[in-house]
Amino acid sequence: MASTGQSLQQVVTQLGVEVTAEECQALVKRPFFLKLLIEERHRWYNSIGGSINLSKETSIGRMLSLAQKLEDDGEYDAAADVIFKAAKISGFVGPESTVSVFGELSQSDLDSIKKSLETKPASTISPN
């Protein structure tokens, strides 16, 4: 259930276990079951996040695959939003594509450089 997103009823049907829908509903509402399901989901997410195959490109590929499914279902606005987010992650859009001409200089570094330039006579400043 944690890794497939299936309901308890779907899982017991798949496994061939004789359980009624009412019993499934009662079990799903129990605090112990909910806590166990949440812990199992966290283990699942941890295993996905720790995969050696997980990369930025993999994430973008999955996003684009999901965008295609949304587009196939007629959810064009949602698909466009996902494609835009994938482009942003890729660095095609937004601040990720902006290059800072000041590099790693902080504001205090810039202020001290400006102050030293203002105090020097113009003849001592070289053009290079």
Tens of pLDDT, residue by residue, the chain (128 residues):
878 888 898 998 999 999 898 999 999 999 999 999 999 999 988 888 888 888 899 899 999 999 999 999 999 999 999 999 999 888 887 664 556 676 777 888 888 888 888 887 666 556 55
Give 21's contacts (C-beta < 8 A, 6+ positions apart). 9
C-alpha Rg value of the chain to the nearest Å: 27
Read off the pLDDT of residues 60-81 as tens digits, 9 standing for 90 and up: 999 999 999 999 999 999 999 9
Percent of the chain with pLDDT over 70: 88
**Full-model pTM:** 0.49
